[in-house]
Amino acid sequence: MNILITGIHGFVGSNLVVALREHHTLYGLDIIAPEKEGVVRTFSWSDIETISFPMQHLPQFDAIIHLAGKAHDTKNRSAAQVYFDINTGLTRKVFDFFLESKAKKFIFFSSVKAAADSVVGEMLAEDVVPAPVGPYGESKIAAENYILSKLKVEDGDSKTDLYNGKQVYILRPCMIHGSGNKGNLNLLYNVVRKGIPWPLGAFENRRSFTSVDNLCYVLEGLLTKEVASGIYHIGDDEALSTNELIALMCETMGQKPHIWKLNRRMMEGCAALGTLLHLPLNTERLRKLTENYVVSNEKIKSALGIEWMPVRATDGIMKTIKSFS
């Protein structure tokens, strides 16, 4: 297949090129355009901003994977409008380009944060009524709604009426990790590496993660199999606790984990005081560090006809940790 990948020089894009380049012809679309092994050519955004048809200056694409976006700024230093300009506005441009092109498959990378900031119940499934909190999740759900508004989707279900034979997939991955990742796992790794004790061991939370290897496997399946259009949550099969993450990091580094199980009420009291005094550990941050966020991947596995993701959560996490050093 001829595949156009936006944001091809990013973390996910770079891993995707490695996974797909042997069997597909890859093109990029990005703000930078250096040569990349396995990529025929990287186009600039100006190449699609002024669309004139027929598009003789561009190859005929079979599929478009839209990765480019404004990542979640956990320090909340980014202006809200930036998220909507990029995550919503850019998606509208790329999707309109797809509708006018001859490409048959469109894969949009949204986020579980478009569905919910916190998980109510045991796990987050695709039938949840979206309730994003903050500009990141809100900009992603706005992009999803624009796509769905163009596709005559009935009740947001996977039984989507195809638009002139086109298939459209909205993916909501939970936190993605793998080689080259510089996200929150890397921050936790640097804390653990320095031997700093983890004081929240009494909170046994469970969180879902997405190995980039499992993500690439899903994308290959969507590209090559007949899968119904729709919204799909993406995650590894097993959820892990923060305590388990720290233990895995220490095992990989050959260190002994320092996990302190301090009294929960005492830590909640300290966090409440931190809220009043504007300290780093406050009630909201404590909630984020200790909450459960488990995502169901049953719908995508059923669509691909598999029982298990190819990479176990612990194996994927350990591979990521090894890449940090």
Please name which of 314, 181, 170 lies closest in space to residue 251, comparing C-alpha atoms: 314
- Specify the pLDDT at position 297: 97
- For 150, half-sphere exposure in the C-beta direction (CA atoms, 13 angstrom radius) is 22
- Specify the pLDDT at position 162: 52
- Specify the pLDDT at position 73: 63
Q: How far apart are CA 213 and CA 254, in angstroms?
A: 25
Give the CATH number of domain 2-177+209-235. 3.40.50.720
Supply φ then ψ for residue 3, to 5 degrees: -120, 130
Query: If the chain, 325 residues long, is cut into consecutive pieces of 10 residues, what is the mean pLDDT of each piece?
Result: 94 94 94 85 76 61 94 67 91 92 95 93 93 93 94 50 78 92 83 90 93 97 95 97 93 92 93 90 86 96 97 94 87
- The model carries a pTM of 0.90
Residue 284 to residues 216, 275, 289: CA-CA distances in angstroms?
33, 8, 9
- Specify the pLDDT at position 160: 47
Is residue 21 within 8 Å of residue 7, measured between CB atoms? no
267, two tokens: 């830590």
Q: What angle do CA 76, 125, 200 make, to 5 degrees?
A: 50
The amino acid sitting at 135 is P
Is residue 310 within 8 Å of residue 238, measured between CB atoms? no
Is residue 107 within 8 Å of residue 65, measured between CB atoms? yes
- Specify the pLDDT at position 53: 43
Q: How far apart are CA 52 and CA 314, in angstroms?
A: 48
Classify residue 193 by burial, with Cβ atoms within 10 Å: 0-12, 13-18, 19+: middle
Q: How far apart are CA 257 and CA 184, in angstroms?
A: 18
Q: How far apart are CA 143 and CA 282, in angstroms?
A: 32
199 by DSSP, 3-state: which?
Answer: coil
